[in-house]
Amino acid sequence: MSKCEQCIIRQFNALKSLHKEDLVRITSCKTSKVIKKGAVIFEEGENINGVFCIREGICKLTKLSPNGKEQIVRLVIKGDLLGQRSLVSNEVANLTAVAANDMEVCFIPKQEIVHNLSRNINFSMDMLKSMADELKLSENIIVDMAQKTVKQRLAETLLYLRENFGEDINGFLNIVLTREDYANIVGTATESAIRLLSQFKKEGLIATEGKKIKIENSEALKLVE
Amino acid sequence: MSKCEQCIIRQFNALKSLHKEDLVRITSCKTSKVIKKGAVIFEEGENINGVFCIREGICKLTKLSPNGKEQIVRLVIKGDLLGQRSLVSNEVANLTAVAANDMEVCFIPKQEIVHNLSRNINFSMDMLKSMADELKLSENIIVDMAQKTVKQRLAETLLYLRENFGEDINGFLNIVLTREDYANIVGTATESAIRLLSQFKKEGLIATEGKKIKIENSEALKLVE
DNA sequence: TTTAAATAATGATTTTGGTCATATTTTAAA
DNA sequence: TTTAAAATATGACCAAAATCATTATTTAAA
């Protein structure tokens, strides 16, 4: 079992502000988990009772609508804390967390986080800041959803993914999603996402190889109308 | 000039956790403002340098999209703090705040809030909680935007407004918005909002009198498809 | 009180995107 | 390897909502 005091991942989230002794205590009560692609980490309505620190992999935060369609609200990535909001509000999960690829996470029980929130100002300020960032992101997504076309949102999603996950040696996006995932991020039908990706390909904006996607002309993607 | 120590509005937001001496200090440096309906409190990109405590009235938080359409992201009401997110992130405003009706607000300079955030755990926890609530609300709006029809969103907006602002003696919503405002909340064209409200009226779901709207059949509104 | 401007209402038309159907390809399991 | 299932692709059609146009009504300003 790895030690939090020595874990570099905490540099990327609020845990960086914890003191040595707190980290030692967390090490002794945390649990590490390996999660397979597609596995559910927690579901909407579930009591989480802690937060997950993402050591490796990507997780989709989704919500199922009454009509059976799934919306991907946000992607949580390596270094992020998962479940902060529910913990702070002391509520059950509002979203479902599903592994987008194989993941490695540590689960830190609620009382440890609460303990530090109530004693360590730097820690709670960090938490506050990351929540503020998420809020800004969400507000901007609302505006995009309301005012941009599906095509524009898909183009922006591709650019966002490259920005946040980078590309491999051949220029393909490091993150590999199904067409259905793209549709669920953009908020459209799977067929529409497929059709638009085909169109982007035909127009030379992207190249594809199976599920892998490469951005060929980011300037044109930015200008999509 | 009213005194924060004696102001009951602070019970509705994080300021309730401040100590007497902090409130006294805020009283001496805050400024009170009366804001006319339609006036801009701050604009996207502006440095706010503090938070506004809403003593009276309602404020629209909007964002202008490149195509010139305005989206109302959230309504901020009596008792709320306005500008928290920008202050915490130490960023310029991400949204524009416009008075939806005549307002009375107090402006509290940034350094006062920061001072308390860094010393008063209860205050920062309250701030954290309200930010978490806003985040949850925003996430749910994203899902609604992606998966519900304009008609459903409009119906939900009407129910939400009654829930949050109540109705007058005759059953009309206490909050009075233009059809354009409705469109900008729902994320649709003004004509579409007008058309759907007319339809709701024809079907007996609502009654209208000028801009005022009365919900006649909330069960049917909940079931709109 | 008159006039201008803003807001609301409604029709006609077009566009976007959803749905349904079917075929092909890819992936994973037996 | 064979086979079944999942994912991708594309066509045809339909519905929701946007746009454009015009008129009526309300509100605010001169």
Joined together, the tokens standing for residue B56 give 């009276």
Q: Which chain B residues contact residue A139 at CB under 8 A?
A: 63, 73-74, 94-95, 138
pLDDT higher than 90, residue B68: no
Check residues B65 and B24 and name the one with the higher pLDDT: B24
Amino acid B46 CA to nucleotide C26 C1' distance, rounded Å: 51
Q: Does B129 touch chain A (CB under 8 A)?
A: yes
Q: Which chain B residues contact residue A134 at CB under 8 A?
A: 135
CA distances to A104, B58, B80, B160, B171 from B174, rounded to whole Å, are 51, 11, 18, 12, 9
DSSP state of B110: H
Q: Does A141 touch chain B (CB under 8 A)?
A: yes
Distance CA B148, CA B188 (A): 12
Query: What is the β-pairing status of strands A103-109 and A50-56?
Result: antiparallel
Predicted TM-score (pTM) of the model is 0.96
For chain B, the domain total comes to: 2
Beta carbons of B74 and A139 less than 8 Å apart: yes
User: Where residue B168 sits, what CATH number does that domain have?
Assistant: 1.10.10.10
Distance CA A77, CA A93 (A): 18
**Residue B212 CB lies within 7 Å of the nucleic strand D:** no
In the beta sheet, which residues pair with residue B206?
Answer: B215
Beta carbons of A146 and B88 less than 8 Å apart: no
Q: Does B180 touch chain A (CB under 8 A)?
A: no
pLDDT category of residue B55 using cuts at 50, 70 and 90: very high
- Characterize B100-122 residue by residue with b for buried, 16 or more Cβ atoms within 10 angstroms of its Cβ, and e for exposed: bbebbbbbbebebbeebbeebbe
Residue A50 and residue A111 share a domain = yes
Cβ atoms of residues B86 and B75 within 8 Å? no
Residue A142 and residue A152 share a domain = no
Residue A153 and residue A125 share a domain = no
Cβ atoms of residues B137 and B123 within 8 Å? no
Averages of pLDDT over each 10 residues, chain A, 225 residues: 91 96 96 93 96 96 87 96 97 96 95 95 96 97 96 98 94 95 97 98 95 96 93
Residue A96 and residue A16 share a domain = yes
Q: What is the pLDDT of residues B118-138, one digit of tens each?
A: 999 999 999 999 999 999 999
Residue B101 and residue B14 share a domain = yes
Residue A201 and residue A141 share a domain = no
Give mean pLDDT, residues B171-196.
Answer: 97
Residue B69 and residue B10 share a domain = yes
Q: Which chain A residues contact residue B147 at CB under 8 A?
A: 65, 67, 69, 71, 187
| Calculated CA dihedral for residues B74, B77, B81, B87, nearest 10 degrees | 30
Beta carbons of A73 and B142 less than 8 Å apart: yes
Beta carbons of A145 and B147 less than 8 Å apart: no
Joined together, the tokens standing for residue B222 give 């909940």
Beta-carbon contacts of A85 under 8 Å, excluding residues fewer than 6 positions away, are A94, A131, A134, B132, B135, B136
User: Where residue A57 sits, what CATH number does that domain have?
Assistant: 2.60.120.10
Cβ atoms of residues B135 and A93 within 8 Å? no
Strand D positions closer than 7 A to protein CB: 7-12, 16-21, 26-27
| Cβ atoms within 10 Å of B37's Cβ, excluding its own | 12
Q: Which residue among B128, B146, B164 closes a domain? A: B146
Residue A123 and residue A174 share a domain = no
Domain hosting A93: range is 4-146
Residue B157 and residue B141 share a domain = no
**Chain position carrying tokens 């909050």:** B175
pLDDT higher than 90, residue B151: yes
User: How far is the alpha carbon of B147 from chain A, nearest alpha carbon, in Å?
Assistant: 7
Q: Which helix (H) or strand (E) holds A223?
A: helix A218-223
End-to-end alpha-carbon separation of chain B, Å? 51
**Chain position carrying tokens 């491999």:** A168
| Cβ atoms within 10 Å of A2's Cβ, excluding its own | 13
**Residue of A89, A142, A147 with shortest CB distance to B133:** A89
Q: What is the pLDDT of residues B79-119, one digit of tens each?
A: 999 999 999 999 999 999 999 989 999 999 999 999 999 99
Q: Which residue among A103, A126, A146 closes a domain? A: A146
CB pairs under 8 A between A and B: 121
pLDDT higher than 90, residue B225: no
Residue B177 and residue B71 share a domain = no
Question: Quick check: helix, strand or coil at residue A179?
Answer: helix
Q: Which chain A residues contact residue B84 at CB under 8 A?
A: 132
Residue B55 and residue B30 share a domain = yes
Distance CA B225, CA B220 (A): 10
Q: Of A66-75, A136-145, B17-26, B143-152, which range is least confident? A: A66-75
Residue A12 and residue A107 share a domain = yes
Q: Which pLDDT score, from 0 to 100, does residue B69 have?
A: 87
Q: Which residue among A114, A146, A178 closes a domain? A: A146
**Region for A193 from its dihedrals, namely left if φ exceeds 0, alpha if ψ lies in -120 to 50, beta otherwise:** alpha
- Characterize A181-213 residue by residue with b for buried, 16 or more Cβ atoms within 10 angstroms of its Cβ, and e for exposed: bbbbbbbbeeebbeebbeebeeeebbbeeeebb
